[in-house]
Structure 1
Amino acid sequence: MTRVPDDRGLMMYWAFDEGTGASALESVSNVRDDIQYVFNDAEFTEPCDPQWRRGVSGSGLLFDGYSTYIAHPFKGDPTGEPAYRSALSIGVWVAPRSYEWGDEGKLSAIINRHDRERKQGYLLGLFRHGTWSFQVGLEGGRWEELRAPDGHELPKNEWSYLNAVFDGNEGEMKLYLNGGEIASAALPRGSRLAEAAGMDLLIGKNNHSSLLSETFSLHMFSGIIDELKIYNRALSPEEAAASYRHMLDSAHGGDRPQLYYDEIKLDRTPLLADRHRPQYHVSPPAHWMNEPHAPIYFDGQYHLFYQHNPHGPFFHQIHWGHWVSKDMVHWRDLPVALAPEKDRLAPDGIWSGSATYDAEGLPVLFFTAGNDSASPNQSVALARSVYSRDGDPDLVHWVKHPEPLIVQKKGMGAFGDFRDPFVWKDDDGWYALVGSGIEGEGGAALAFSSQDMMNWTYKGPFFKADIGKFPYLGPIWELPVLLPLGSDKQGVNKHLLLVSPVGEGADVEVFYWIGQLDKHRLSFVPDQEEPQLIDVGDFHFTGPSGMVDPKTGRKIIFTIAQGERPSLQEYKAGWAHNGGLPISVYLRDDGRLGIEPIEELQSLRGAKRLSLRDKSLAEANAMLRDVQGDMLEIQLEMEPGSAERFGIKVRRTPDGEEETLLYYDLNQAMLMVDRTKTTLHPGEKCGGIQGGKLELLGENLKLHIYLDRSMIEAYANGLKSLTTRAYPSRSDALGLELWADGDTAVKSMDIWDMQSIW
C-alpha cells in the first residue's frame, strides 16, 4: 500500500480543484485568492474566467504566460521586520507549455516571495530551455541558489513533480524531480531563511519581473500548475518519493499522469468573439506572430509556418508556429514545429526561412539559427521532417541538423546581418538567397548553390541596391523571395524578386523587381532599376514569403498583416498580428505585375447581401443602407464621371462619427485610405492618410475589398493592393457608403457575408 503523505507543518495548500471561476482556495488559511487574468474584465472580447484544465488530481490552473497569476496576501510581522525560519519545503506538479528566454538571469516563477537585492525570501521557477532552480535569502545577507543539473530539465507539455527543500538545521538545500533527488548544496548548519517582509506571495509571476515595452511583465509561468503545497519543515527523501508515488497510485493506477496536447495547447476560443480579431485570415491560436513563411505543398496539404512567441502577445523568444490546409483558406493549428533548445545551433531563436524538398522529395525547412554566443549570431540551418519514418501526415515532427549549413564569413555581405534563407530546388541542384547588405552600398540578397543540399558555395551578391539612389531601400534586406513568372510576349523568361528593407532610413514594405535570372552567374538583372510596391497601405503588408503551387502552377505570396497597435492594446487583446490573404501574382500582357486574391477564398462566401448594376451614387447608397457588417467581401466598379476623387467608406457608424474611406485620386493617380475618422478610441493609433501610385490608364476603378473585423484589404484593378487596419471604438461601426466629390456612376457592386475559418 502506498504511504499517505504526511502533511505535518503544512503552511499553505492550493489544490486548484475549482475547475471554474476566477479564484483559488488556499485551504490552510481558508483564504480565497483572486486569479489575475487578462480576460476577467475583457475590453475587446467577451469576459471569461481563467482557463482551467484537467490536473494530476481533479483540475489544474492554466497560466497563459503573460497575464495569469495569483497574489496571496502577506500575513506577517506588521513592522516589516523579516521573520526567520529554519526550514521550508515546496511540493508542486507543473506542466510547462513554453519557456522564456531568461532576461537578466531571472526565473519564470512558479511560486515566490523574494527580494534578491535584500537577500530575503524564496523563489522556485524555470529558466531557459526547461532548466529550473530554487533560490533562498539567508539571515546575514546571503543569497543561495540550487539549479537542476543538465539532463533534468522540465519537459514541455508533460507533468513533472517538483520538491524544493531548505533545511537550515542540517545545512542543506535539495531538489527532487518525480520523487528522486537530483541536486543538493551544503549550507552552514543553523542557517535561517529570511522572509521577504511585507511582500505578497506570487504564484506564476516573479516578484521582481522585468518590464518589456512598459507593458509586459516577463518571468511569468506558462503552463498548468496543480497540487501546490508549502511546509514549514524539511521533507525527507522518503516523503518526497512517497508524495510522488501516492499521486500516481491514487489517481493514475500507478502510471505517470498523462497530458494530451489538446489539454495544454494555446486556445483561440476566448478570441473568437474579439470585435477586432480577423476571423477568416490565418492567425495563431493566441499571442504573438510576425511573418508567415516557408509555404510548401506535400501529400495533399499546404503547410505554412510563422514566427511565433507562444509565451504572450509580444516579440520575444521566437519559435516556428505551424498551420496546415487543404486549400490555403481553411487552416488548422498544429503544434510548434521548431523551438529554441539547449544546443549549440539555435538556443536564442528560430528565425525566418523557407521550405523545399530533398532529393527524395520530402520536405525540409531552412531557418535562421539564432545563437548569441556565436559571431555572427545568425546562420542558416536545416530541419528534416520525420514523415518517412513514422508516417506523420501533418508534418508535426521535425529534427534539426545539429550544425549550421551556411555560416557567414567576413566579406560575405554585411557581417552580422545574415538571415531569412529562401531555398529552391531544380534539376541542377539547390539554390539559396540570404538577406544581408553590402557595406556602404545598401541592402543585398546573397546567392549560394549546392549539389547535395548540405554543402553550399557562395556565389556573390544575387542583387544589390544603390542606397544613394534609393535610400528607402535601406542598408539591409530581409526575406528575399524569387518566383518564376514565365515568359513575356517576346518569349523572354522573367522572374519576380521580393525584398523587405530594414535598418536606418529603410521603408519597411515589400518591394519588388521584375527581371531575368542569370543562372550561370546566379544573379538577377532587373527590367528597371527602381523598385515597385505590391501594396500601398504603409507598413501593413510586410514580411513576404512565396511558393509555386504544384497543383496549379500559380505563384503565391503570403505576408504578415501588421496590427499597428500599442503594446497595451495587444496586452488587453491577447494577440498581435495575423497573416494577410494569400495572393496570386503573374505577369500581365502589358508587362506589369498582376495581383489577385486566390480564387479559393470564394468558398468563404455566405449570403449575398447586395447585387446592383448601373446605378447613380445616390441610388446605390439607398440600396446600401441595410447592408452592414465587419466580415464582408465587396466587389465594386466605379466610373469617374466628373469626380476627381471617389471610393467607399467602410466600418462606418450611422452618424459618420467613425468611418474609413478607401478612394482613388484621379488627378494624382493614387490609391488612398483616409483614416482620420477611423476610431475615437484613445488607445489606438491608427489614423492619417496613406496610399501610393496606381496607374489605371483610363480604366474604371475596380475594387475587390475584404473586410475582416480590423482588417481591410482592397485589391485595385488587379495591379495593387492596399492593406490597412481599423479599430473603431463603437460597436455600430458596420455601415457602408459610396462617396465621390462629383457625379460618378456605380457600374456594379456585389457584397457577400464571409464566414469564419475557425
Structure 2
Amino acid sequence: MKQIKLLYVAMLLVVCQFSDGEVQAQERTKEAYRPQFHFSPKKGWMNDPNGMVYLNGKYHLFFQHSPNTTIWGPMHWGHAISTDLVHWQEQPIALYPDSLGTIFSGSAVVDKNNTAGFGQNAIVAIFTHHNKTIEDAKTGLHQYQSLAYSNDEGKTWTKYKGNPVLPNPGIWDFRDPKVMWHESSNQWIMTLATKQSITFYGSKNLKDWNRLSEFGEGLGAHGGVWECPDLFSLSVNGIKKWVLLVSINPGAPSGGSGTQYFIGQFDGKTFTAEHTDTRWIDYGADNYAGITWSNTGDRKIFIGWMNNWTYANLIPEQGFRGAATIARDLKLKKVGDDFYLASVPVKELSVITGKANQLNSVKVNKNYDLSAKIAPFEGKYQLELTTAERASFSLHLSNSKGDELIIGYDKVSNTFYTDRTKSGQVNFESSFARKTIAPRIAKGNQISLKLLLDATSSEVFADEGLATLTNTFFSSAPLSRLHIKSSKPFMVQKIKYSGMK
C-alpha cells in the first residue's frame, strides 16, 4: 500500500487503473478504518492468508476472499503481489468455486523438479474444496484436498482434472493443507488439520498421498477445532528444531481464535514435541490462521489474519472487511534451557519508516508527554523503548475525543498487556472491549518494547518478539497523543520514534 499523508476524514477510495486487463494497485485511501501499511482487499471480505510463495523476486499472498460480501461467504482465493512485503498490488482472483466446492485454505509450492508433471517451476496450489451439498447431507465427507497449478507465475490457473487428490476418510474437519518439500526423506510433506489433531501425509508427486502419522492428543490447547497448521525448521547457534503452528477457534488465551505453536523434532514421518506447556505465537486478540511463505530458504516469514472469529463479521466496514498483520520474521530464541519462537517485523518495513528520532536517559516521574513529538504522524508510527530496569509502566495512546488505548508492562504479574476497552467503537460485540495479556518469557531486568501503530491496529513486540500482542481498534479520530506513565519514577534508557510514510 503506497504511503502518503492523509487527512483522517474524507472517504475516497483511490486506485490506479491499468489498461488491457492489468491489475489495479492497492493504493492509500482516505477511509477512516482502512489500514495504511497493512494489506487489505480493495473490496469484500478477507480472512486466512493462503498459498504464500516466493518466486523470481515476488512475494505472492493469496487469501480467503468473498469478493461480493463484507461478511464470510463463498470462498475464493484472492491474490496480491509484493516485491518488498510492504507495498501490495492486488491481482485478479486466482481460484473460483467450482463443481467440487468453494475454495478453502491451503498452500502453494514451487515444483522445481516437476514432480507433479505440470511443468518445471510451476506454482502448485494445494487447497481444501468445501462442498456445501455434501455437508448438508451430514456424511462428514464434504472437505477434501485438491490441486491447481500456474505456469505463468500466478497470473492464470488450471485446476487438476484428477481432483480431489486426497479424499476425505470420514473426518468432519479435514482441511487447510500446508505442503513443503522434506529433503531428508525426499518427499512432499502435507500438514493437515484433522478435527483436533494434525495429520501428516507424504507424496512424491503431489498427487498420490500416504498417511504418515498424527499429532496432538493430550498436547496443546483443545478448546476448539484445530486449523491452518504449518511445519518448518529453524536453527539457532547450529541447533536445528522443527516448529509446528496450529490455529485454534475458540480457545485462545485472549478469547476466540488464536495460534499456538510447538517446538520439537520431525523425522520425515512423525513430529515429536519437546515441551508440554501450551505456547502462543501472539497473545493479542487479532492474529489468526498465520502461516509462512514457501520457497524462502532458511528465512521464515509469517503473516496472519488480523481479526478474530468472535466478532469478525461485526467489525466496522467500509466496503471491505479484514486485513493482514505486518509480515514478520520468525526466529528461535533460547531462554534458560528452553527454545521459544519469536517474531519481529520484517526488515523491509524500513522502506516506509521515516527518519528516526531518539531520546536517551529519560526519567519518567509518573507522566512523560510525547504527544508533540508523535502528533505529526497522525496515528501511524513506530515506537521503540528500552528500560533500564524491570518496572511497571504504561503507554497511553489517546485523542481529543476521549478514545484511549493502553499498552504496558506489569511488574507484579510479569506480563505485558494491551487494553482497548475505551479505544473507540467497542459496542458492536460484547467481548471486543477487552484487555489482552502476554506472559513475559525473557529473564533479564532490561525490557525492550516495539510498537507498530496503524489506523486500526497496534502490534506490540516485547523482548525482541518473545512476547507479542496484536490488537485492532476503531477510534473516532487518530490516536495522536502519547503519554508514558508509571506509579513510581523509573528510567528509560532509550526512546526511538518515527512516522510511517
Structure 1 residue 624: deviation in Å? 4.1
- The counterpart of 2:10, out of the listed 46, 49, 60, is 46
Partner of 2:240: 493
Partner of 1:416: 172
Structure 1 residue 570: deviation in Å? 3.6
Q: Determine helix, strand or coil for the equivalent of 2:132.
A: coil
Deviations 1:674-709 (A, max 9, x none): 223212675576423211211331332211111110
Structure 1 residue 287: deviation in Å? 1.7
Partner of 1:225: none
Q: Is the 8 A contact 2:331 2:341 kept in 1?
A: yes
Partner of 2:387: 638
Structure 1 residue 283: deviation in Å? 1.3
Q: Is the 8 A contact 1:536 1:723 kept in 2?
A: yes
AA aligned opposite 2:448:
K
CA–CA distance in structure 1, aligned partners of residues 260 and 315 of structure 2: 29
Structure 1 residue 581: deviation in Å? 0.9
- The counterpart of 1:477, out of the listed 207, 222, 226, is 226
1:371 maps to 2:131: yes
CA–CA distance in structure 2, aligned partners of residues 737 and 749 of structure 1: 12
Cα separation, partners in 2 of 1:316 and 1:447, compared to 1, 3 Å: same
Deviations 1:468-512 (A, max 9, x none): x75x423531111001012x55x6531000001236899521100
Partner of 1:445: 198
Q: Determine helix, strand or coil for the equivalent of 2:293.
A: strand
CA–CA distance in structure 1, aligned partners of residues 385 and 239 of structure 2: 35
Structure ranking higher on relative contact order (CA contacts 8 Å, 6+ apart): 2
Q: Determine helix, strand or coil for the equivalent of 1:625.
A: helix
Partner of 2:459: 713
Partner of 1:703: 449
Partner of 2:284: 537
CA–CA distance in structure 2, aligned partners of residues 703 and 549 of structure 1: 31
Partner of 1:406: 166
Cα separation, partners in 2 of 1:47 and 1:300, compared to 1, 3 Å: closer
Q: Within 5 Å, give how 1:179-190 maps onto structure 2.
A: none
Q: Within 5 Å, give how 1:237-316 maps onto structure 2.
A: 260-261=20-21, 272-316=29-73
CA–CA distance in structure 2, aligned partners of residues 416 and 623 of structure 1: 53
CA–CA distance in structure 2, aligned partners of residues 701 and 639 of structure 1: 7
Partner of 1:465: 217
TM score, norm. by length of structure 1: 0.58
CA–CA distance in structure 2, aligned partners of residues 598 and 535 of structure 1: 16
CA–CA distance in structure 1, aligned partners of residues 48 and 9 of structure 2: 25
- The counterpart of 2:97, out of the listed 318, 333, 340, is 340
1:547 maps to 2:296: no
- The counterpart of 1:434, out of the listed 188, 192, 195, is 192
Structure 1 residue 614: deviation in Å? 0.5
- Paired residues, what number? 467
CA–CA distance in structure 2, aligned partners of residues 672 and 588 of structure 1: 21
1:514 maps to 2:288: no
Cα separation, partners in 2 of 1:683 and 1:266, compared to 1, 3 Å: farther
Cα separation, partners in 2 of 1:621 and 1:354, compared to 1, 3 Å: same
C-alpha RMSD over aligned residues: 2.8
Flag structure 1 segments of 5+ consecutive residues without an equivalent.
1-43, 54-258, 388-393, 438-442
Cα separation, partners in 2 of 1:653 and 1:596, compared to 1, 3 Å: same
Q: Is the 8 A contact 1:566 1:684 kept in 2?
A: no
Q: Is the 8 A contact 1:671 1:694 kept in 2?
A: yes
Cα separation, partners in 2 of 1:614 and 1:668, compared to 1, 3 Å: same
1:588 maps to 2:340: no
Cα separation, partners in 2 of 1:429 and 1:681, compared to 1, 3 Å: closer
Q: Percent identity?
A: 25
Q: Determine helix, strand or coil for the equivalent of 1:592.
A: strand
Q: Is the 8 A contact 2:362 2:492 kept in 1?
A: yes
1:679 maps to 2:410: no
Cα separation, partners in 2 of 1:703 and 1:426, compared to 1, 3 Å: same
AA aligned opposite 1:407:
P
AA aligned opposite 2:190:
A
Structure with bigger gyration radius: 1
Q: Determine helix, strand or coil for the equivalent of 1:603.
A: helix
Cα separation, partners in 2 of 1:567 and 1:525, compared to 1, 3 Å: closer
Deviations 1:402-428 (A, max 9, x none): 220001214xxxx22100001111341
CA–CA distance in structure 2, aligned partners of residues 568 and 725 of structure 1: 13
CA–CA distance in structure 2, aligned partners of residues 329 and 450 of structure 1: 34
AA aligned opposite 2:159:
K
CA–CA distance in structure 2, aligned partners of residues 594 and 727 of structure 1: 27
Q: Determine helix, strand or coil for the equivalent of 2:348.
A: helix
Partner of 1:383: 148
CA–CA distance in structure 1, aligned partners of residues 191 and 180 of structure 2: 9
AA aligned opposite 2:281:
I
Structure 1 residue 276: deviation in Å? 2.1
Deviations 1:73-98 (A, max 9, x none): xxxxxxxxxxxxxxxxxxxxxxxxxx
CA–CA distance in structure 2, aligned partners of residues 281 and 353 of structure 1: 21
AA aligned opposite 1:616:
K
Q: Is the 8 A contact 2:388 2:446 kept in 1?
A: yes
AA aligned opposite 2:359:
L
Partner of 1:351: 104
TM score, norm. by length of structure 2: 0.86
Partner of 1:395: 154
CA–CA distance in structure 1, aligned partners of residues 280 and 425 of structure 2: 30
Structure 1 residue 307: deviation in Å? 0.3
